[in-house]
Amino acid sequence: MNLPNKLTVFRIILIPVFLIIMAIPFNWGVVTWAGTNIPVTSLIGTIIFIVASLTDFLDGRIARGQHLVTNFGKFADPLADKMLVMTAFVILVEMGKAPAWVVAIIVCRELAITGLRLLIVENDGTVMAAAYPGKIKTTTQMLSIILLFLNNVFFNNIHVPMAGILLYVCLFFTIYSGIDYFVQNRSVFSDGFK
């Protein structure tokens, strides 16, 4: 197994660890950071989330840069990414830090795009690359998740709800990039409209 695939597998292994840390009510106390109280479990879970997110960035970059792209990587990398993000958002809904309707839209878009990717691969064997709006969506997802878990640390002192702002920017780009992917690849569905 090459390095990018090992990073992807490592990310998949981190997901249940992240889930256990965030979902089981461990009481390890609270730490104050930049004037914000953060439960230690949230801090540890966020660190795990950040490490997992970094592996998402690294595995694709290494695979493309060193010509180590594999079918396993094409399948597992986006799946691991979706699993990590969806797990984080479901936990945030459970914690009352993200509205369920926002998360439902994000999850539905991710499932729809995953289905579209599968159709494109099946039809012509190509992998749908991430477009710029999708990259903005992913970046704002990651940042909003981190700030929501860390109680908007760094922005509370200046009274800016950055975690919430990023969540709604993420929602906008989730919808926009989803529509963009379907418009760009509408030919996949041409047989259904004859």
The verdict on domain 3-183 having CATH code 3.30.1330.20 is no
Provide mean pLDDT across the span 24-39: 90
Q: What is the pLDDT of residues 84-142, one digit of tens each?
A: 999 999 999 999 999 999 999 999 999 999 888 878 877 776 666 667 888 899 899 99
| Out of 4-13, 45-54, 69-78, 162-171, least confident range | 69-78
Provide mean pLDDT across the span 10-38: 93
Note the pTM of the prediction, 2 decimals: 0.89
pLDDT category at 16 given cuts 50, 70, 90 is very high
Q: What is the pLDDT of residues 35-85, one digit of tens each?
A: 899 999 999 999 999 999 999 888 888 988 898 888 888 788 888 999 999
C-beta separation of 150 from 34 below 8 A: no
Neighbours of 111 (CB within 10 A): 12
C-beta separation of 97 from 147 below 8 A: no
Q: What is the pLDDT at residue 61? A: 86
Residue pointed to by tokens 């840069």: 65
Per-residue DSSP letters for 13-38?
Answer: HHHHHHHHHHHS-----EEEETTEEE
C-beta separation of 140 from 149 below 8 A: no
Model confidence at 193: pLDDT above 70:
no
Per-residue DSSP letters for 46-85?
Answer: HHHHHHHHHHHHHHHHHHHHTT---HHHHHHHHHHHHHHH
